[in-house]
Amino acid sequence: MALYAAYGSNLDPHRMAERAPYSPVAATGWLVGWRLTFGGEDLGWDGALSTVVEDPGHSVFVVLYDMHPLDEASLDAWEGTSLGLWRKVRVRVETLEGDLLAWLYVLDDYEGGLPSRQYLTIIADAAEAGGAPADYVEGLRTHPSRD
């Protein structure tokens, strides 16, 4: 099984249990040198979608899942990789157990645009459920939004 690094709304273990029921949480960690941002404003959620971009000096909280092959195919379909909405990249995640390599979905669109307040609330709630630090969750809750 491969490791999958989740961010955004996929930080919520209950949401991921519905999308990937055979893939347990393996650890939490940080994408060091990456920044959470938003793009693809015209693709859905009444605003921009969460994604990550490389950016020294920043870090993104992630939850790592041991991705079962059946769940990987299902999650690929859910994320729209065959439609070209997302692409998978290999990243290094810093965990308490050391650095681990994992797959990560990245929006295949330009950075920019504001997410909806509803979407940010879902992401912040997911980060809280996934064990993100309080200041990280607060940053999500206070991020600028469309409404």
The domains of the chain are located at 2-137
Which tokens sit at 90?
A: 């290999």
Phi/psi for 128 (5° steps) reads -65, -45
Per-residue pLDDT 10s for the chain (147 aa) are: 699 999 998 999 999 999 899 999 999 999 999 999 999 876 665 789 899 999 999 999 999 999 999 898 888 887 777 777 888 999 999 999 999 999 999 998 888 889 999 999 999 999 999 999 999 999 999 999 987
Burial class (CB in 10 A: 0-12, 13-18, 19+), 141: middle
Query: What is the value of pTM for the model shown?
Result: 0.92
- pLDDT tens-digit profile of 110-134? 888 899 999 999 999 999 999 999 9
Q: Which residues are paired to 50 by β-bridges?
A: 38
| Nearest Cα residue to 12 out of 126, 101, 102 | 126
Contact 9, 45 (CB under 8 A): no
pLDDT value, residue 82: 75
| Nearest Cα residue to 140 out of 118, 124, 119 | 124
CATH class (in words) of the domain with range 2-137: alpha beta
Element housing 65 (H / E): strand 47-67
